[in-house]
Amino acid sequence: MNTDHLSIANDNETGTSRARVIAVHKDRWEIALEKGPQSAVLSGKFRNAIADPAALPVVGDWVDAAWQEGDTAARIHAVQPRSGLLARKRPGDAEHDAVVEQAIAANIDLALLAMAVDEDFSVRRLERYLTLSWDSGAKPVVVLTKADLAGTTVGTELVPDIETRRREAETVAFGARIIVSSARTGEGVEELRTLLKPGVCAILLGSSGVGKSSLLNALAGMDLQAVSAVRDYDGKGRHTTTSRRLVELPWGAYLVDTPGIRELQLWGDEDSLSGSFPDIERFAAECRFADCIHESEPDCAVREAVESGALAPDRLESWRRLRRELAYLERKTDTTAARAEREKWKSIAKLQKTMYKKRG
């Protein structure tokens, strides 16, 4: 990998270099230094200072790192301030478990939301991807992959034509560009390259088998990621990417390839929906009550829009569902924080009580 754009000269005062995290492996990281990709670990001081797991270095982070000749690994001493963080609720958390934020990538400019035109396509899932992207500060771009399958029969299912899929995406992708692509035919590849200007960092998000690695290889013009064969009976490929990795494209843009996302639970609050539901926000501005939740309040302009046909009923239902999810998340995280605060003051009170007894 060419690392000219990924690092700068050593800081003479601190003895560290500015480097970018290109991969994460449990308790080890890969960073790009002037000498090339290098394995790295956290310095003891930095590790001890981290209270929030979300503060650990993630793919796309800029870090201060030091490496000496003969070392087996560089030392990461700090994470530089982020311009944005793409994060979700950690998958698998049961209702009784702690709710934990899982950072996916940092400092992302563009989120390429890959969705195959076959049965993988889901408007509801696309709403989640869009919400995640807008909330992170990344600009979303919807990429309809495997366009060569449109209008053909895969297994026993007829894949809809491209314009049908585009119209479906347009019903939710307000403000997001939609690009039709095919790694097999090359369609859409040049259009995507025009967005990936030198220095721009993008991330590929999508389910397993939608062709993310194939698209990355097509963009790069070379095989950067392994791609498994597509099965004849359902048109799907096996999942090949096993961890998030930042790859530098030949002209100096960066792309994070990610494993297929099987479960996408949002992380944020109700305000996170404003970017992905601007149509509802627009109608909501006319509601009688500023805090209207569009359920049973009088003079609700959003419900009136549904009744008049100006807003699709499933669009409002999806907003309600995601709002409930985020409200639960907020209650859960607030409860966790409140419990931690109570435990802290209990410990202080117990210590004070012990001290008073000693004085007596």
Domain check: are 170 and 47 in the same one? no
Q: How far apart are CA 107 and CA 226, in angstroms?
A: 26
Considering the domain architecture, whether residues 272 and 344 belong to the same structural domain is answered as yes
Share of the chain above pLDDT 70, in %: 77
The count of structural domains within the chain is 3
Do 54 and 131 share a domain, yes or no? Answer: no
Mean pLDDT score, 4-10: 44
Q: Are the CB atoms for 64 and 77 separated by under 8 Å?
A: yes
Please check whether residues 225 and 346 belong to one and the same domain. no
- Same domain? For 96 and 179 the reply is yes
Distance of CA 147 to the CA centre of its chain: 24
Question: Across the chain, where does the E strand assignment appear?
Answer: 17-25, 28-33, 36-42, 62-66, 74-79, 85-89, 101-106, 110-116, 139-145, 153-154, 157-158, 177-180, 201-205, 245-248, 254-257
The CATH code of the domain that includes 296 is 1.10.40.50
**3-class DSSP assignment, residue 197:** coil
Those residues with Cβ within 8 angstroms of residue 130's Cβ, 6 or more apart along the chain or in another chain: 113, 140, 172, 173, 176, 275, 276
CA 215, chain centre distance (Å) = 18
Residue 2, domain member (yes or no): no
Same domain, 350 and 221: no
Residues 322 and 132: their CA atoms lie apart, in Å, by: 11
User: For residue 5, is it within any domain?
Assistant: no
Q: CATH number, domain at 222?
A: 3.40.50.300
Q: Is the pLDDT of residue 224 over 80?
A: no
pLDDT (tens digit, 9 = 90+) per residue, 208-219? Answer: 888 888 899 999
Predicted pLDDT at 91: 63
Q: Is the pLDDT of residue 13 over 50?
A: no
Which of 20-24, 164-168, 223-227, 301-305 is predicted least confidently? 223-227
Range with top average pLDDT, 4-8, 83-87, 167-171, 203-207 = 167-171
* Domain termination site, one of 64, 81, 98: 81
Last residue of a domain, one of 81, 102, 118: 81
pLDDT over 70 (residue 97): no
Cβ-Cβ contacts under 8 Å for 1 (sequence gap 6 or more): 22, 32, 36, 37, 247, 248
Tokens 């999810």 belong to which residue? Answer: 325
Same domain for 96 and 242, yes or no, is yes
Task: Write a three-state SS string for 165-220.
Answer: HHHHHHCCCCCCEEEECCCCCCCCHHHHHHHCCCCCEEEEECCCCCCHHHHHHHHH
- Torsion angle in degrees (nearest 10) through CA of 29, 241, 130, 188: 120
Instruction: Give a yes or no: residue 142 inside a domain.
Output: yes
What's the domain range around 183?
86-257
| Owner of token pair 């392994």 | 226
The answer to whether residue 209 sits within a structural domain is yes
Percent residues over pLDDT 90 in the chain: 51
Q: 89 near 266, Cβ under 8 Å?
A: yes
Rounded Cα gap, residues 337 and 34, in angstroms: 42
Cα 245 to the center of its chain, rounded Å? 13
Name the least confident of 8-22, 267-281, 297-311: 8-22
Which of 199, 230, 257 corresponds to the end of one domain?
257
Mean model confidence pLDDT for the chain:
82
Residue-level pLDDT at 209: 84
Residue range 229-256, pLDDT digits in tens = 444 444 444 445 457 889 999 999 999 9
Residues 100 and 247 in one domain: yes
Q: Which two three-digit tokens encode residue 269?
A: 């609050």
Q: Is residue 67 part of a domain?
A: yes
* 321 and 201 housed in the same domain: no
Q: Is 131 inside a domain boundary?
A: yes
Q: Do residues 150 and 46 share a domain?
A: no
Q: Does 90 lie in the same domain as 77?
A: no
The token pair at 333 is 């995280």
Residues 281 and 301 in one domain: yes
Residue 230 lies in a domain: yes
